[in-house]
Amino acid sequence: MTAMDTNDMLTATQLVIEEALQKLGYGQDMIDLLKEPMRLLTVRIPIRMDDGTTRVFIGYRSQHNDAVGPTKGGVRFHPDVNEIEVKALSIWMSIKCGIANLPYGGGKGGIICDPRKMSFRELERLSRGYVRAISQIVGPTKDIPAPDVMTNSQIMAWMMDEYSRIREFDSPGFITGKPLVLGGSLGRESATARGVAIMIDEALRKKGIPLSNARVVIQGFGNAGSYLAQFMYEAGAKVIGISDVNAALYNENGLDIEDLMDRRDSFGTVTNLFKDTISNEELLSLDCDILVPAAIENQITADNADNIRAKIIVEAANGPTTLEATRIVTDRGILLVPDVLASAGGVIVSYFEWVQNNQGYYWSEAEVDMKLREMMVRGFNQVYELHQSRKVNMRLAAYMVGVRKMAEAVRFRGWV
Ligand code: NAD
């Protein structure tokens, strides 16, 4: 992601928050408070590398607002991590938590590093070093991290272990996305895709289209995209297009998703195994019922929004549609289920993991799925009803629902 993109991401989020708060009747004081994170910590983490040298890594933790409860959000390890991106992502997490009605505000963290070029032990030292550096402002009742881009359950396990050592008691509720044996939740890995599938069900119902035989196009075949393709395939829908960073595959009769799942690599790439491909741009303009951007940001823009032929867009990726494109597709009668609603499955099951850790009592996968559906459907209905009653687009409606509880909590606490 370029610096320009991240600036746009923060500005776009702030614009929608401002409009949402204005529509809800709040004044400039509330806007000034909620447009920016309340706290941003920058840390320097010296790490002894395997060759004996020391490298100093820069890390961040951003906490948007804790009026509702502790903050919550992932930690990403990536060379492009920067202050603006971490801030924007922490604000998005607040909106997601607000829509799902979780007792959290939003948080996000990151370290500027390239895990692909680091050894297992270097990654362990970096993960532990990060926790030591931010330990004063995080904790099971303060701010609860989780996995994000290029972090996984092993990294969560090291972080949980380091935090438990510092506090001198076992603290599984400090972090979510842990391995099952350390208190992870069943259903966590596929939770985002499961949530997107639930949103597809609801959107199809509004459009009066049955799921069986619905034609689905998915951009991105990683964690979110591939599990979603599998769920759609199992439900009898026709996945007619998928893509990865290199190219896209299209078959109007439906792709063999089981075969693609078997053959994709751990980075979600599979199209390099095929000769007959189309481009990602062509994929986005395929005639279909549901289009799911599940790859990266800024894919549907003012330049290609007129070419979209889907009836429904469900955003699994963060920020795939620009504000201008949101207006265009909404005016064209396409039902758009925005990222802050559609991709909330991950944080909802993270919340379930934290609840199970706090209780020391673990749920079955069926129970996790049932509760996830209940929360996602409630969020969808609230956003859809507001979209209709206030005649605002689905993104603005989602922000209005998402920021409302936080603003009320700020008011009751007497902060503004
Ligand atoms: P991933 O890294 O597992 O997969 C990304 C996929 O997108 C891969 O198939 C990759 O080849 C493809 N891709 C990368 N660049 C592309 C490009 N320029 N054009 C087309 N395809 C491209 O990532 P993921 O975890 O599946 O996340 C995908 C999106 O969903 C991201 O925006 C992420 O923030 C969002 N998201 C994911 C989760 C989750 O739990 N995984 C939760 C919330 C939001």
Per residue in 108-149, pLDDT (tens digit) is: 999 999 999 999 999 999 999 999 999 999 999 999 999 998
The rounded Å distance from CA 266 to ligand 1 centre is 12
Count CB neighbours of 388 within 10 A: 12
The rounded Å distance from CA 225 to ligand 1 centre is 7
Alpha helix (H) residue ranges in 28-67 = 28-34
Measuring CA to CA, how many Å separate 383 from each of 207, 340, 373?
A: 16, 11, 15
What is the best residue among 296, 301, 315 to mutate for testing ligand 1's pocket, by most ligand atoms within 8 Å of CB?
296
The pLDDT > 70 percentage for the chain reads 98
Count CB neighbours of 17 within 10 A: 23
The rounded Å distance from CA 247 to ligand 1 centre is 14
| Model confidence at 207: pLDDT above 80 | yes
39-43, 48-52, 162-166, 209-213, range with the lowest pLDDT: 209-213
The rounded Å distance from CA 22 to ligand 1 centre is 33
| Model confidence at 28: pLDDT above 90 | yes
Tell how strand 54-63 and strand 105-112 pair up.
antiparallel
What is the best residue among 185, 223, 263, 270 to mutate for testing ligand 1's pocket, by most ligand atoms within 8 Å of CB?
223
Residue closest via CA to ligand 1's atom 33 equals 317
Q: Which of helix, strand or coil describes residue 239?
A: strand
For residue 386, the model assigns a pLDDT of 98
Q: Read off the pTM.
A: 0.95
Pick the closest to residue 93 from 137, 130, 62, 114 (CA basis): 62
| Model confidence at 36: pLDDT above 70 | yes
Residue closest via CA to ligand 1's atom 35 equals 317
| Model confidence at 29: pLDDT above 70 | yes
The rounded Å distance from CA 60 to ligand 1 centre is 22
| Model confidence at 5: pLDDT above 90 | no
User: Residue 213 — pLDDT band, cuts 50, 70, 90?
Assistant: confident
Paired with 242 in beta bridges are: 218, 249
Question: How many residues are there in the chain?
Answer: 416
The rounded Å distance from CA 414 to ligand 1 centre is 40
CA distance 146 to 171: 14
Q: Which of helix, strand or coil describes residue 86?
A: helix
Tell how strand 312-314 and strand 290-293 pair up.
parallel
Please give the torsion angle defined by the CA atoms of residues 175, 181, 185 and 186, in that order, rounded to the nearest 10 degrees: 160
- The two structure tokens encoding residue 323: 């504000």
CA distance 398 to 400: 5
Decide: 16 and 399 in contact? Cβ < 8 Å: yes
Domains of the chain: 36-170 (3.40.50.10860), 191-343 (3.40.50.720)
| Model confidence at 1: pLDDT above 80 | no
Residue closest via CA to ligand 1's atom 3 equals 222
Residue closest via CA to ligand 1's atom 16 equals 245
CA distance 307 to 282: 9
Paired with 58 in beta bridges are: 44
Residue closest via CA to ligand 1's atom 30 equals 317
What is the best residue among 277, 343, 353 to mutate for testing ligand 1's pocket, by most ligand atoms within 8 Å of CB?
343
| Model confidence at 413: pLDDT above 90 | yes
* Closest ligand 1 atom to Cα of 264: 9
Decide: 329 and 308 in contact? Cβ < 8 Å: yes
Span 167-198, pLDDT tens digits: 999 999 999 999 999 999 999 999 999 999 99
Decide: 314 and 337 in contact? Cβ < 8 Å: yes
**Residue among 108, 178, 311, 405 flagged as catalytic:** 108
CA distance 416 to 413: 8
For residue 107, the model assigns a pLDDT of 98
* Closest ligand 1 atom to Cα of 297: 32
Residue closest via CA to ligand 1's atom 36 equals 317
108 catalytic? Reply is: yes
The rounded Å distance from CA 375 to ligand 1 centre is 23
Span 378-406, pLDDT tens digits: 999 999 999 999 999 999 999 999 999 99
Residues lining ligand 1, CB < 6 A? 192, 219-225, 243-245, 268-269, 280, 294-296, 316-318, 343, 346
State which amino acid sits at residue 266: S
| Model confidence at 2: pLDDT above 90 | no
Pick the closest to residue 221 from 307, 294, 291 (CA basis): 294
Residue closest via CA to ligand 1's atom 23 equals 222
